[in-house]
Amino acid sequence: MSSAVGTPAPGAVQPMVKAEGVHKSFGHVEVLKGIDLEVAPREVMCIVGPSGSGKSTFLRCINHLERINAGRLWVNGHLVGYREKGGRLHELRDSEVAAQRRDIGMVFQRFNLFPHMTALENVIEAPIQVKGVRRAEARERGAALLERVGLADRVHNYPNQLSGGQQQRVAIARALAMEPQLMLFDEPTSALDPELVGEVLDVMRGLATDGMTMVVVTHEMGFAREVGDTLVFMDDGVIVESGDPRSVLTDPQHERTRSFLSKVL
């Protein structure tokens, strides 16, 4: 096996994300017990499940914030975090991993904005420092991204002058500023007051409409039903069930899925 997934068959589309037998342990606790899935380009995959099921850990493995213990993960045809040579995996240098991450945007539960920077400064920092974009160009694009997420009037506000929903929208604009091929969302609305959830989900709907490939760990079943192309239910480190969100939500095939959905729907 090479470091690329290989040339797809004629007419086939190379997955944006491909996981094969992904395992992850923390000490003696096995959190992921062999995850296999594929995310196609432009697909929105929503991952749901109880706390502790491994959802967020898997998301962090996709961009090598967590090192997997076994299996393989590819993003856009390239092994994540490793190079394969002679049948053995060799971990990439930090600089090589950082280069891979440029194509993967991630939005966390907590906004992680720099408190001493304005909304615009938060958005333009990485393009300038990591990609070497000229400041004037970065500012122009950053302002356009903040307008895209509905914050054209908050460009010069600091995080402590913004609501939680506004801060999360700045975080989304910041991730988009690196022009990623893939966006990962780790429960992006769970830290928000209920009345602020909708404004963040609206931005995510817009990204989906624009064709962004997204993997979303979420408790928002309405969003999964409306926007998701695939719904994955995880429990105890394994994928229990996956399929069309409307089918899984209305007619789950597994008792564990039925039990979970009965508590959240």
Rounded to an integer, what distance in angstroms lies between the CA atom of residue 75 and that of residue 40? Answer: 10
2 part of a folded domain:
no
Q: Residue 54: pLDDT band by 50, 70, 90 thresholds?
A: very high
99 part of a folded domain:
yes
pTM listed for this prediction: 0.93
Each residue of 178-206: pLDDT tens digit?
Answer: 999 999 999 999 999 999 999 999 999 99
Output the furthest CA–CA distance in the chain (Å, rounded). Answer: 56
Rounded to an integer, what distance in angstroms lies between the CA atom of residue 240 and that of residue 50? Answer: 12
**Which tops the pLDDT comparison, 115 or 91?**
115
168 part of a folded domain:
yes
Query: Residue 8 pLDDT > 80, yes or no?
Result: no
Residue type, 115: P
161 part of a folded domain:
yes
Query: Residue 4 pLDDT > 90, yes or no?
Result: no
Give the CATH number for residue 212. 3.40.50.300
Mean pLDDT, residues 122-134? 95
5 part of a folded domain:
no
Query: Residue 213 pLDDT > 60, yes or no?
Result: yes
Q: Residue 11: pLDDT band by 50, 70, 90 thresholds?
A: low
Three-class HEC string of 51-112:
CCCCHHHHHHHHCCCCCCCEEEEEECCEECCEEEECCEEEECCHHHHHHHHCCEEEECCCCC
201 part of a folded domain:
yes
Contact 60, 97 (CB under 8 A): no
Query: Residue 103 pLDDT > 80, yes or no?
Result: yes
| Structure tokens that stand for 211 in this block | 């064709």
Query: Residue 86 pLDDT > 90, yes or no?
Result: no
Domains in the chain, number: 1
147 part of a folded domain:
yes
61 part of a folded domain:
yes
pLDDT (0 to 100) of residue 265: 85
Query: Residue 3 pLDDT > 50, yes or no?
Result: no
Rounded to an integer, what distance in angstroms lies between the CA atom of residue 144 and that of residue 102? Answer: 20
- Domain hosting 91: range is 17-262
Query: Residue 9 pLDDT > 60, yes or no?
Result: no
Query: Residue 1 pLDDT > 60, yes or no?
Result: no
Cross-strand bridge partners of residue 90: 83
